[in-house]
Chain A
């Protein structure tokens, strides 16, 4: 659905924020894009959504480029920005009515509005001024506007930031429903658990580059990560040749009293446990299984998602 090849983009008088960038999002996929603040996610979204033009490279939406097909792409795509992108002095219904009329392809404006209201649970709030809404309702209205044209591609830039659990539930459910119906969703969020819960594929980017991408299972190494906190120093550990040999063979690292690495076969995990027991090395805690997205993210970026720039 989205195909980006060798993309480069720089803001005026600045070094390129995105350089030689490639990304492919399958049709019908729910794709999570993660990255710390300043990684270039919003800039990438502005390029994917045709708001800014890249200095070089291609952005194809469903095989079409913006140069020749801008209007037809816009008809079938929707962008839900981070900001509350609607008019506070207008009611929710007035906002939906206005934005729906920006799409000449919508046959029944009333139906489109009702469907968007229904999907986001705004039935009881549609005639209230949107500036009086809580953060959660504002997020729901923001999403509702994005659903008006029943898009084939929905781009969501942190759609659940700073909202109550009820609104988060409405929004996540709406996204799931849309994806089930065939809408391709490109989703950025600060909330790892949301991404883990929702997305089929993810990409982690930083400094304008994709650090890693693929399906969640492949990235999180299902059932293969070992993390073992030991009550001993590195010197003590290195006195046992069999253990050192095992660590070398399986590329395990020992840092901050923690033995870490990938053990693809569960039998290897049991061998490790036996070795530690054999040499009387006390184990404080042990984890063996799927890696968390948060630890993968930190491992790759050395930053937390919410770190300042």
Chain B
């Protein structure tokens, strides 16, 4: 019986070309328009010199030749810190990276100690620092150290020269570290718009679900089904699964638009990491929440006008406060707090955790759990309202 209901729903969905077009064309159009339009706005800060923290354990080391050389790194805005933990400051001050110069590093490069294995200079990258900036910074540091090395070799005594050349492998002086945090840099336009408008379009299923439900009610098919031995829950599951599949296809399509189509049109490309597989559980969570919300609206309203108005306006409110239309990072604190009440924001934060923060399954679990609870409550209410639907 459930198979027959699902088959019927898939058939109806497949033959409703207009609704399908809206569900797929609308988010593609939004992603293209918004990504390309907002590209410069989102990139504004990126054109400024990237800020790099410069951490000295001892201020007296400022005068040493190696520190002086490193403090002249070009292409970066160096901000000096003293007696602070780089791991804390990078995230808090939105730095792309931090260079920590240990006391032993400076000492190991002076005089007789040069023969020893040098203590490493530490570089900490923010989790969201693009690979290109990491490479530029790493190369710039190594260039400065290469200059220092060259000067040391030139100035070294003949006896020491041999040892110095053996030990001074520049790259080995630098240790790169990755910082992890729930806080991250601002997303780029494509990183913001692809998940944001994907979520919006997933929630947009409220329109086709509620209108088909009402058509079934008005045409008497619902009445007919309710005089047949069909459990209510089958009827609603029959609506849920086809749209779950549609939402998964939407996810694949929208991310492909971000990865392949946008760069072809001159926009930024969306880059995904090894954790991209997590987009699937995240999308399923957003999808069941969106469909459950749609089913609740469908069982509550009485006319298609009510469905399109209530469903559409609710979606716009969820989107407006949830960071879909206006990114949360440009919102004042009050609005950022309000955003936490929007299921679209839970979905968006989950996607950004995957895309920007390279989060793992545990990192997205809070958002997945919130969406799952939201879906369960709304789906249960839908069943209750469906059973109470009066047939006139």
A positions within 8 Å CB-CB of B: 11-12, 42-43, 46, 49-52, 70-71, 74-75, 77-79, 81-90, 94, 97-99, 101-105, 145
Contact = CB atoms under 8 A, between A and B. Distances in A.
Minimum-distance CB pairs A-B, first 8 = A85-B220, A83-B220, A101-B4, A81-B220, A102-B228, A85-B224, A51-B391, A89-B15
Contact of A94 (B3, B11, B390, B391): B11
B227 A74 contact: yes
Contacts of A74: 227-229
A101 B219 contact: no
Contacts of B39: none
B221 A104 contact: no
A79 B229 contact: no
Given A11-B392, A51-B227, A102 B15 contact: no
B7 interface: yes
Contact of A75 (B4, B223, B229): B229
A11 B15 contact: no
Contacts of A85: 219-221, 223-224
A51 B390 CA distance: 8
A97 B4 CA distance: 8
B218 interface: yes
Contacts of B230: 102
Given A49-B227, A87-B12, A103-B228, A98 B218 contact: no
A42 B218 CA distance: 14
Contacts of B7: 98
B11 A90 contact: yes
B224 A145 contact: yes
A97 B228 CA distance: 14
Contacts of B1: 101-102, 104
Given A51-B391, A90-B8, A102 B225 contact: yes
Contacts of B3: 101
B381 to A, nearest CB: 19
A97 B392 CA distance: 27
A87 B8 contact: yes
A11 B389 CA distance: 12
B159 to A, nearest CB: 91
B211 to A, nearest CB: 13
B226 interface: yes
Nearest to A48: B227
A71 B220 contact: no
Contact of B8 (A43, A52, A98, A104): A98
Interface residues of chain B: helix, strand, loop or mixed (majority): helix
B98 to A, nearest CB: 61
Contacts of B391: 46, 51-52
10 contacts: A46-B392, A50-B227, A51-B227, A79-B223, A79-B224, A83-B220, A97-B4, A99-B224, A102-B4, A102-B228
Interface in B1-32: 1, 3-5, 7-8, 11-12, 15-16
A84 B224 CA distance: 10
A84 B229 contact: no
A83 B16 contact: no
Contacts of A50: 226-227
A274 B392 CA distance: 56
Given A89-B12, A90-B8, A104 B220 contact: no
Contacts of B11: 89-90, 94
Given A82-B220, A84-B219, A52 B390 contact: yes
Interface in B206-255: 218-221, 223-230
A102 B229 contact: yes
A103 B229 contact: yes
Contacts of A89: 11-12, 15-16
B360 to A, nearest CB: 44
Nearest to A157: B220
A128 to B, nearest CB: 14
Contacts of A88: 219
Nearest to B14: A89
A152 to B, nearest CB: 14
Contacts of B227: 49-51, 74, 77-79
A82 B11 CA distance: 25
A85 B228 CA distance: 13
A87 to B, nearest CB: 6
A96 B164 CA distance: 89
Nearest to B11: A90
A11 B392 CA distance: 9
Nearest to B13: A89
A90 B229 contact: no
B229 A71 contact: yes
Contacts of B224: 79, 81, 85-86, 99, 145
Given A74-B227, A98-B4, 19 more contacts: A42-B392, A50-B226, A50-B227, A51-B227, A52-B390, A71-B229, A74-B229, A79-B224, A84-B220, A85-B224, A86-B219, A86-B221, A86-B224, A89-B11, A98-B5, A98-B8, A102-B228, A102-B230, A145-B224
A86 B8 CA distance: 11
A133 B228 CA distance: 25
A158 to B, nearest CB: 12
B12 A90 contact: yes
Contacts of A79: 223-224, 227
B223 A104 contact: no
B218 A83 contact: yes
B219 A83 contact: yes
